[in-house]
Amino acid sequence: MNEPIDLRTALASFDALWSPRIATRVNDYDVRIAKVAGEHIWHVHTDTDEFFLVLDGELRIGLREAAGEREVVLPTGSVFVVPRGVEHRPSSAGGASILMFEPTGTPTVGDRHDPVPGHVDATTGHPLG
């Protein structure tokens, strides 16, 4: 069914952290929303970039690049793309709601990653609702 999706209502429909829901699809891409707090894990998506939009709160993304390690800070309304092949770790001290855009079937823990702790959902996204 092709109906509008209110992201505030969609985000209110679940409480799990680091467990994205697929809000909709565009061609072969998922539009995923998630609530986050604390740290995710260091991981890499070998074959795809990863798009982040901060809907609420603040997201930090640690990056391990050829020039060294750095962190980008994304306040509400900011977007950032982690290029394919760059090791990264999202985190949020105060909690955030985010939207991600990535190919359908992309694992949330990438192709290579640190051990997955219990607070991180290793998934390709859950249906909304």
The enclosing domain of 28 has a CATH number of 2.60.120.10
Q: Is residue 1 part of a domain?
A: no
Structure tokens at 10: 């969609």
Q: Is residue 129 part of a domain?
A: no
Mean pLDDT of the chain: 95
Closest CA to 39 of 76, 98, 105, 92: 92
Per-residue pLDDT band at 48 (split at 50, 70, 90): very high
Give whole-number Cα distances, 29 to 62, 65, 67, 78, 121, in Å: 24, 26, 30, 20, 19
Q: Is residue 121 part of a domain?
A: no
Average pLDDT of the segment spanning 5-11: 96
List the domain range (segments joined by +) for residue 24.
7-115
Q: Is residue 84 part of a domain?
A: yes
pLDDT at residue 2, as a whole number = 82
* Count: domains in the chain: 1
Give whole-number Cα distances, 10 to 5, 27, 75, 99, 114, in Å: 7, 21, 21, 11, 30
What is the reported pTM?
A: 0.94
pLDDT in tens, 23-43: 999 999 999 999 999 999 999
Residues 6 or more apart from 16 whose CB is under 8 A from it?
35, 121
Looking at this protein, which amino acid is placed at residue 8? R
Average pLDDT of the segment spanning 45-67: 97
Q: Is residue 88 part of a domain?
A: yes
Q: Is residue 39 part of a domain?
A: yes
pLDDT in tens, 112-125: 888 898 999 999 99
Q: Is residue 50 part of a domain?
A: yes
Average pLDDT of the segment spanning 79-93: 97
Angstrom distance (rounded) from CA 66 to CA 61: 16
